[in-house]
Structure 1
């Protein structure tokens, strides 16, 4: 009798990226966790353990500059996600000062937007709702466009560019030549659009986030034109695409766990810990990357200086050494310090906004949809492996009640 050979870290990483495994990559993550720090055939390191990922997210020797040979942009022209201090800290401080005050007190407005989107489907009889196209997609794109000062009529264009650009976050070797060409075209379209928007604000500034970034009161903190454009592109994607997946993945978890759906329907406060569990159980961002600025000792192994590091955030969120029953969806899980928004100095700037959007949307779905059920399970998924979520999520229901009316 022959003994099956355990798959290597290289094989497991490749399997996690394959589209046929997009609906459920978690068995492959579970296998990764048997060796939480593993070297791959190309010399990069696959990190899947929770504690090891946390250590590297907080280690200053773990650089956000991923040593990507495909990235030809000068370091100063890269987004703050790919920057180290001191430039990272400078850019993040400016964005935080302008972004955070504008999202405080937005919950009522977010509730109005969610209600408006669902009201379009309110009726007396059975129907269907595509959670992605009808709610999870238009909600955050409307919000980020309002914050940036993008004209309402341009929202569809802005959203389309975001969807096309997120494919570029995946490893290059998973993309076809046609996809790479389309990515370059989308980047060019976004640059042209943003330059036009910036030109308009130079002569007609407003009270939006773009104007705030352009006319920061501290002249030493003002971004140069390239940094401004790159930062706007980052906010477009990070402020939109991750929230789409968070709402869609949360809806999927609710409909697969009808007892949790019933609890949320009668207890809307459950939405707060429930969203944290979605971020752990099925996070919108599955993995991230770093590179070693020096030799790093971790879990009895040394990652050599200059090595590329792949942080498997979604695997760390299912690490049994950190979370009890990690494969169970526990909506009120205690001590849920997940990796859904990363960690360290690169912790997601938009985490507060994304949480609020998801909490309000999921509570409304539970409250207003009578007898909801998935039409297709699993649903079709998007191509993206890093920003992972359903392409479509069609939910059938007996009735979509008016807001304020109890759902059955």
Structure 2
């Protein structure tokens, strides 16, 4: 079977529930050229090499217009006025913006920002689980782990972190959905996706501009206020850069965590022995190990699709990727590469040396990892401890459309009530 046919099958929704056998076929040739001219990389070592290769650019503006391999781009007139967010830029611009974001986000400059939110995270999760059964905590109830739990939890957290009103959720969720659809590799040409992504970012930026105008002169203790104040050792971001990067953080700060929590609960229900271990609570570091294995085994982000392009000819995996070519890195295939990890299709939280690609790598390593880890550890631990006899209503569940941000759209579970709420800890959870 031609390798590009395998790639088209991966993008096809009919394989969304289990793309892993197709990933195994794709890995037979580490680097293949897809039908649209892009290059798809699927093996661990080759992905890691490219994540650290400065010749692979994340800035689509670097595509050479006169190169025969370069796909047609959106012109400057087609793109709204906001500058690119930091994950679609290269050094030195990327490094400066990332330092400014990191300075306000958490460790090492503001180590208490995330840690101080841990008790709030526990309380949010506690309240959500209480609400699953309403006034009858002992009856059999059918719940949707996505809509009733995995979505509202990280949305509430990222809203508090950024200083976004929770009541604005319907509006920014619509904008967030548009941003995700804009980068779906199964829809449209690269130039069309560029235009859609720029439009979605501009719409989110407009939302933040309205939000900031409404609170002019009244800064808070949130991340957004910190970015506007210019706190840090360098010149602050421009107002437009704040809008662009705030839009990114809002979308990335909840969409990927929703998938990680939902994929995690689905995996635990498929592996009841691990669910029981988590419920018993006699292994203090088990939650951290479960989450790390989930990031390898059922990650929320499966691929970085056409978000990299070659600044020069790059030889990798026995193939030369020509200058100007867009590149897709299939992270989820790399994390299950049997040449790197033994028995890769087995879910094993006791696995040693788990160097997964769940958060990417290189200079673009996931900015939100320090937040996603404790969120998911808390969520899965509390679900395991408090839900009575949880069982899947259907398996596999229906999945979201995107092959990149892969996770169930709904996860229906029947429970026989919930156990009493556990005390909210005063000190941060161990995050591994």
Residue 189 of structure 1: how far off its partner (Å): 4.6
Residue 106 of structure 1: how far off its partner (Å): 2.3
Picking from 18, 26, 35, the partner of 1:32 is 26
Matched, 1:63 2:57: yes
For residues 163 and 46 of structure 1, what CA distance do their matches in structure 2 show? 25
**For residue 77 of structure 1, what is the aligned residue in structure 2?**
83
Deviations 1:281-314 (A, max 9, x none): 1110010131111222222332222111110001
Query: What runs of 5+ residues in structure 1 fail to find an aligned partner?
Result: 1-5
Query: What runs of 5+ residues in structure 2 fail to find an aligned partner?
Result: 64-70, 424-432
**For residue 224 of structure 2, what is the aligned residue in structure 1?**
210
Matched residue SS, 1:119: helix
Answer with 62-71 or 104-113: which moved more: 62-71
Alignment of 1:303-342 (within 5 A): 303-342=321-360
For residues 24 and 121 of structure 2, what CA distance do their matches in structure 1 show? 37
Picking from 257, 281, 295, the partner of 2:313 is 295
Contact kept in structure 2, 1:57 and 1:343, CA below 8 Å: yes
Q: Structure 1 residues 51, 119: CA separation in 2 closer, same or farther (over 3 Å shift)?
A: same
For residues 239 and 169 of structure 2, what CA distance do their matches in structure 1 show? 23
Matched residue SS, 1:395: strand
Answer with 198-207 or 135-144: which moved more: 198-207
**How does the TM-score come out when normalised to structure 2?**
0.86
Residue 190 of structure 1: how far off its partner (Å): 2.6
Picking from 146, 155, 159, the partner of 1:132 is 146
Picking from 240, 256, 259, the partner of 1:242 is 256
Residue 394 of structure 1: how far off its partner (Å): 0.9
Picking from 91, 100, 105, the partner of 1:94 is 100
Alignment of 1:354-369 (within 5 A): 354-369=372-387
Q: Structure 1 residues 302, 75: CA separation in 2 closer, same or farther (over 3 Å shift)?
A: farther
Residue 188 of structure 1: how far off its partner (Å): 5.9
For residues 83 and 127 of structure 2, what CA distance do their matches in structure 1 show? 39
For residues 95 and 194 of structure 2, what CA distance do their matches in structure 1 show? 31
**For residue 39 of structure 2, what is the aligned residue in structure 1?**
45
For residues 211 and 229 of structure 1, what CA distance do their matches in structure 2 show? 12
Matched, 1:273 2:289: yes
For residues 184 and 376 of structure 1, what CA distance do their matches in structure 2 show? 38
Picking from 197, 204, 212, the partner of 1:190 is 204
Matched residue SS, 1:173: coil
Residue 41 of structure 1: how far off its partner (Å): 3.6
Answer with 276-285 or 10-19: which moved more: 10-19
For residues 98 and 201 of structure 2, what CA distance do their matches in structure 1 show? 22
Matched residue SS, 2:25: helix
**For residue 2 of structure 2, what is the aligned residue in structure 1?**
7
For residues 17 and 186 of structure 2, what CA distance do their matches in structure 1 show? 21
Residue 241 of structure 1: how far off its partner (Å): 0.3
* Number of aligned residues: 397
**For residue 3 of structure 1, what is the aligned residue in structure 2?**
none
Residue 377 of structure 1: how far off its partner (Å): 0.8
Answer with 202-211 or 379-388: which moved more: 202-211
Picking from 16, 22, 34, the partner of 2:10 is 16
Moved over 6 A (4+): 179-185
For residues 266 and 71 of structure 1, what CA distance do their matches in structure 2 show? 58
Contact kept in structure 2, 1:38 and 1:46, CA below 8 Å: yes
For residues 227 and 159 of structure 1, what CA distance do their matches in structure 2 show? 21
**How does the TM-score come out when normalised to structure 1?**
0.91
Matched, 1:349 2:367: yes
Matched residue SS, 2:18: coil
Residue 74 of structure 1: how far off its partner (Å): 8.3
For residues 393 and 361 of structure 1, what CA distance do their matches in structure 2 show? 15
